[in-house]
Structure 1
Amino acid sequence: MKIAIDITILYIAQAGIFYYHYNLVRALLDRPSPHRFLLLDYYPIHGGWTNPPEMTHLTAPHAEVRRVKGLRHRKLSRLWFMQRPLLWPLAKGVDQVLLYPWGKLAEWVMQHQLRKHLDGVALFHASSVVPYALPHAKNVTTIYDLTPLLFPEHHTLQTRDLYRRFFRFAQTEADAVIVISEATKGDVITHLDLEPERVHVVHAGVDPRFHPLDRATVAQVLASLELQPQRYILHVGTIEPRKNLVRLIEAYHRLRQEVSPPAPQLVLAGASGWMSGEVFRRVKALGLEDDVRFIGRVEGAVLPALYNGARLFAYPSLYEGFGMPVLEAMACGTPVVTSNVSSLPEVVGDAGLLVDPTDVHQIAQAMVRLLEDDALGYRLRQKGLARAAQFRWDRAAVKALQVYEHLLGTPS
């Protein structure tokens, strides 16, 4: 059977969505399979503005990458010669008038191109950026979380509109919906009114680069960031309201008043996202500019060392579809404090301390416990390593294939 998977999303997505989709596709290609895979890149969506280096690894004898051309939405107001005081407002007005008809034309061209290039495909795994149902084939898509629906105030109008249309596609067009946790499955069934039998859980795996490292390696990497091993509390994730960083900073402020000095620093690793300003303002208001470090997005070999060197990992998120950073921290042997909501208890099990993310006192006390109780930290380290070992990409690939083959009527 010929199975097509959209990889256009890999040129758009960042952080957890990118790594989930990329690692699942790569794990599917790494398995011996009677199926042939077509990896679809609908070029007009991203226009070549990004080129993730990981894409070069998506190869296999039974796979083909196909770049499909189409109609790209070009805004007059973005052209360099229109960036003049008198011309730019006129260009914006023209863009507004043409937005709807141009969008409908671009959608028609995309459907025509996809129908042509996906000819002979028995199953198409669509994404949120290419929500297309292939006629006369089985259609699958993945929902990572329902944050645009459950927390609309944390998203732009454009993002909310995009996901509103995507969720409608999942409801009406998908024969099966893959979700990344049991918690997300419950949300999808409840809020999107999908039949339980259409929704399938395929947990994420943990990348092999996340594992315990020797002290010398950790110290060498951390020196480049002017950090010392075991002298900081770590958070990894985009700086945005859903990550609950204002309460984490307030909890850290309380912690500093309870533990013997010198207190560890709080290191926040991640790019600034939507509505991040309040986080920076809270740090300044509490006088923590020298104690809270913003180090930006961290990649490559630095991130595993950053996890390894942390005294503890704090992740009091308000909502997660899965919570990849928690899994990565456990895989590196770092004790975890995280929320008792959404998917996080499902990922952590009994290998971390769970707290109410809306209770600053609880967050602070959990971190203080880990700082003052070395035996507790050791137990959680061992439990975390064992827990993380249960999440593997080869298992995820098997489960995804089971979804495909069930729809195709060709169980392995």
Structure 2
Amino acid sequence: MIPKKKVVIVCDKNSRTSFGRLALDLERTLFADFDVSILWLKTPKYFPNDDAALPEERGLKSESLWANSLYSGFFKFKAPLAESLKKLNPTIIFFIRPEIGFLVPVAKKACPEAKTVVLIHDTFAETLYPFSLKFKLISQFYAKPTAKADGFVYNSRYSKGEAEKYYGIAGRPNAVTGLPLNALYYHLQTDRMLYRAKRDSFCADLGIRGFRALVLNVSLPEPRKNIGTFLDMAKERSDIAFVRIGKMTRDINYQVEKRELQNVFHFSNLAAPMLREFYRHADLFVMPSFYEGFGLPPLEAIACGTPVVCAGTTALKEIFEGVCPLVTPADNVQGYLDVLDDVLAGRFEYNPQKVADLLEKYSIKTIADKLSVFFYSILDR
């Protein structure tokens, strides 16, 4: 029996972040064709405990490298990464995001026979915040070495176009695959009414009481996520609970207080099963982002049968047009409220065939096939 080619996925976020969940999903995506392990780059910010292994991370083939932060990791991760890679001797080294691209040259030197591949979601950290010292540093020292990789995987045609312009890598080996949907957690429910009936008790257990509906958003605390529009919706519908899953910041807290909102709730650090329960119990999922490289949360919500509305922007339009309502401009509060009113009035319906086609396009099997074809193609170069 011919041994499988070995893939090492390098990830610096825990499995309760979108990148960490993605690393686990990619491990499941690739395992049939490759011998896959995960190399976690751990910092106290994302792995606060000494063992730092969340339940969903246990049982995997994995190793861990530690640093006090990603900034100190610029120096501290390099030597142990090279040592680990030499020991693992992978065929392909797959970096989960370009912000850890500074380790690509290290990997190439440590394993000159291996191919380095970077998954590029977007270039927002590099291009949207030109006056931020933090993002200038990230761009110059952390992300720019991504261009030295042997190949690139993109989550959308939009991300590919932006990345090729920014990194100057047009014409280099690449594949547009999308992101895999983990059907173990996110799958269509045949009886949405069951979850609607249980919504009040689900919400009450979380301290959310006295509201006639639940509207959900999952997002990073970044300006491009347009969280203000989500909060403006809450201002207009005080009898509905608006739940955001994501890190709470002083700015977001200020926006909530300025609007004097009593119907907004925040949760963070949720494992996939709990995130799924929010999707299932929500009356509507809202993604009002100005910019998105893909849009995994609305895909997960659609897979759970939840009504979804997105901004008609960037990759959201590319991926979800014709499947769910799209609102333009992205900060058109009334546009989202109109969809919400349709949902509550029972006028919202998905086209079952379009939903099935979307979920098949981003299924683990489909993404696995695309990645496998691409990985073998660069190994033949």
Question: What TM-score comes out, normalization by structure 1 length?
Answer: 0.74
Greater Cα shift, 205-214 or 390-399: 205-214
- Once the two structures are TM-superposed, the CA of residue 141 in structure 1 deviates from its matched residue by 1.6
* Counterpart-to-counterpart distance in 2, 1:365 and 1:43: 41
Asked if 1:176 corresponds to 2:145, the answer is no
Amino acid at match of 2:6: I
Whether the 8 Å CA contact 1:7–1:41 is kept in 2: the answer is yes
Equivalent residue for 1:55, pick from 54, 57, 75? 57
- Once the two structures are TM-superposed, the CA of residue 196 in structure 1 deviates from its matched residue by 3.5
* Counterpart-to-counterpart distance in 2, 1:358 and 1:68: 40
RMSD: 3.5
Q: How does 1:102-181 map to 2 (within 5 A)?
A: 106=76, 109-110=79-80, 112-114=82-84, 116-119=86-89, 121-127=90-96, 128-129=99-100, 130-131=103-104, 132-133=107-108, 134-152=111-129, 157=134, 160-171=136-147, 173-181=148-156
Whether the 8 Å CA contact 2:212–2:239 is kept in 1: the answer is no
Asked if 1:283 corresponds to 2:256, the answer is yes
* Change in CA separation of 1:5 and 1:247 when aligned onto 2, cut-off 3 Å: same
Tell me what 2:5 maps to: 2
- Once the two structures are TM-superposed, the CA of residue 347 in structure 1 deviates from its matched residue by 2.4
Whether the 8 Å CA contact 1:315–1:337 is kept in 2: the answer is yes
Question: What TM-score comes out, normalization by structure 2 length?
Answer: 0.80
- Once the two structures are TM-superposed, the CA of residue 327 in structure 1 deviates from its matched residue by 0.5
What SS class does the counterpart of residue 177 from structure 1 fall into?
strand
Q: Deviations over 1:246-275 (max 9, x none)?
A: 12222443x44xxxxx74232222222xxx
Amino acid at match of 2:226: N
What SS class does the counterpart of residue 144 from structure 2 fall into?
helix
* Counterpart-to-counterpart distance in 2, 1:155 and 1:325: 27
What SS class does the counterpart of residue 181 from structure 2 fall into?
coil
Asked if 1:350 corresponds to 2:322, the answer is yes
Q: Deviations over 1:62-99 (max 9, x none)?
A: xxx46377xx6679xxxxxxxxxxxxxxxxxxxxxxx9
- Which runs of 5 or more residues in structure 1 are unaligned? 59-64, 76-98, 257-261
Asked if 1:330 corresponds to 2:302, the answer is yes
Asked if 1:368 corresponds to 2:343, the answer is no
Amino acid at match of 1:345: K
* Change in CA separation of 1:27 and 1:220 when aligned onto 2, cut-off 3 Å: farther
- Once the two structures are TM-superposed, the CA of residue 227 in structure 1 deviates from its matched residue by 4.9
Equivalent residue for 1:27, pick from 26, 29, 44? 29
- Which runs of 5 or more residues in structure 2 are unaligned? none
* Counterpart-to-counterpart distance in 2, 1:303 and 1:51: 19
* Counterpart-to-counterpart distance in 1, 2:356 and 2:347: 14
* Counterpart-to-counterpart distance in 1, 2:163 and 2:179: 18
What SS class does the counterpart of residue 334 from structure 1 fall into?
coil
* Counterpart-to-counterpart distance in 2, 1:357 and 1:16: 26
What SS class does the counterpart of residue 333 from structure 1 fall into?
coil
Tell me what 1:199 maps to: 174
Aligned length: 358
- Once the two structures are TM-superposed, the CA of residue 155 in structure 1 deviates from its matched residue by 6.7
What SS class does the counterpart of residue 233 from structure 1 fall into?
strand
Tell me what 1:82 maps to: none
What SS class does the counterpart of residue 337 from structure 1 fall into?
strand
* Change in CA separation of 1:228 and 1:307 when aligned onto 2, cut-off 3 Å: farther
Asked if 1:221 corresponds to 2:217, the answer is no
* Change in CA separation of 1:370 and 1:201 when aligned onto 2, cut-off 3 Å: same
Which has the larger Rg? Answer: 1
Whether the 8 Å CA contact 1:142–1:178 is kept in 2: the answer is yes
* Change in CA separation of 1:139 and 1:353 when aligned onto 2, cut-off 3 Å: same
Asked if 1:405 corresponds to 2:376, the answer is yes
Asked if 1:394 corresponds to 2:370, the answer is no
Amino acid at match of 1:19: R
- Once the two structures are TM-superposed, the CA of residue 205 in structure 1 deviates from its matched residue by 2.3
Tell me what 1:78 maps to: none
- Once the two structures are TM-superposed, the CA of residue 242 in structure 1 deviates from its matched residue by 2.5
What SS class does the counterpart of residue 293 from structure 2 fall into?
coil
